[in-house]
Amino acid sequence: MKAKVIKNIRVNDKYGYMIIESKELSSSSEAGKFFMLSPRINNITNSDPLINRAFAIADVFHNDTILFIYQIVGRVTTILTTVKEGDELNVVGALGTKFTICESKNVALVAGGVGIAPMIILGKKLRSQGNKVTLFYGGGSSKDILPLDILSGSYDNIEISTDDGSVGCKGLVTKLLLASNEKFDHIYTCGSTGMLSAVVKTVLSIDDGIDIEVSMEAKMGCGIGACLGCLIPTIDKNGTIANRRCCVEGPIFDGKTILFERLV
């Protein structure tokens, strides 16, 4: 499907925001789901690369526009920086599973770097359901922490950490979680696989009764369950081990079912 780009803003040398317009796509956009964005702009065939890339839904405005946040790491995200207002982008979605929206609970969202993207819409949705929402947001340095205006309205509290201490508390985001006096009922997390593994371990060490949902990252070929390129090793409560497709059975998984030792 084609969607018109109505904004593409470079935040710094690492991140950009893009807003596309589509009533139809907005109606299927829920917290946790993602779109495959194509590097083909204005229908110009671009064979380098051929494969679309996954981007989380960061927010939906007025039921007709969708926000994406991209970290410039390679070919497609570099192409995305060249997109202009009014350009048309090929998009597929919304795809994948969504986060559970609990009601009237004390919840924490733990985001690492560009893992903040799905946490924006998630925080808003959770607050609208009467939850108290704390965001723990970590990055390598201040450049990895997005301007806080984009986060306004999504959280009751925000705590920040950076590896180099250039903004917020110095150290890993799990340090914030451990230092918190709050008793959380449910934790949601998105970031690198290493960070997700550390967050799940930390939560289990605090209280293994806390529910924890993770948004997993995997290299995706098709995004629709056909290529098996995005398998995540999991174990269920009965001890059954199975590979699950991140694009269809995920990207949102019960964090306690992921066999991180097979991934990192």
Q: Which parts of this chain interact with ligand FES (CB under 6 A)?
A: 220-223, 225-230, 245-247
Tell me whether residue 148 or residue 242 sits nearer to ligand FES (CB atom): 242
> Out of ligand FAD, ligand FES, none, which partner does residue 223 contact, by CB within 5 to 8 A per kind?
ligand FES
Peptide linkage before 147 cis (omega within 30 of 0): no
> Out of ligand FES, ligand FAD, none, which partner does residue 241 contact, by CB within 5 to 8 A per kind?
none
Smallest distance, Å, CB 97 to ligand FAD?
10
Under the binding rule (CB under 6 A), the answer on residue 188 touching ligand FAD is no
Smallest distance, Å, CB 247 to ligand FES?
3
Question: Residue 105 has which token pair?
Answer: 């609970």
The interface region with ligand FAD, picked from 74-82, 158-166, 179-187, 197-205 by CB under 6 A, is 74-82
The interface region with ligand FAD, picked from 71-79, 129-137, 141-149, 175-183 by CB under 6 A, is 71-79
Phi, psi of 197 (to 5 degrees): -60, -45
| Residue 40, CA distances (Å) to 1, 126, 132, 198, 247 in order | 12, 35, 41, 37, 21
> Out of ligand FES, ligand FAD, none, which partner does residue 227 contact, by CB within 5 to 8 A per kind?
ligand FES
Question: Residue 198 has which token pair?
Answer: 């550390």
Under the binding rule (CB under 6 A), the answer on residue 50 touching ligand FAD is no
> Out of ligand FES, ligand FAD, none, which partner does residue 228 contact, by CB within 5 to 8 A per kind?
ligand FES
Tell me whether residue 112 or residue 251 sits nearer to ligand FES (CB atom): 251
Maximum separation of any 2 CA atoms in the chain, in Å: 54
Q: Give which of 180, 142, 135, 172 is closest to 156, Cα–Cα.
A: 135
Tell me whether residue 150 or residue 204 sits nearer to ligand FAD (CB atom): 150
Contacting residues for 108 by C-beta, under 8 A, at least 6 apart: 133, 134, 135, 136, 177, 180, 182, 184, 186, 187, 188
Contacting residues for 38 by C-beta, under 8 A, at least 6 apart: 52, 89, 90, 91, 92
Stretch 98-127: interaction string toward ligand FAD, x if CB under 6 A: ----------------x--x----------
Q: Are strands 241-245 and 211-215 parallel, antiparallel or unpaired?
A: unpaired
**Selected binder of ligand FAD within 9, 73, 179, 264 (CB under 6 A):** 73
The interface region with ligand FAD, picked from 1-9, 159-167, 205-213, 217-225 by CB under 6 A, is 217-225
How wide is the angle at C-alpha 175 spanned by C-alphas 124 and 142, nearest 5°?
A: 65
Smallest distance, Å, CB 47 to ligand FES?
19
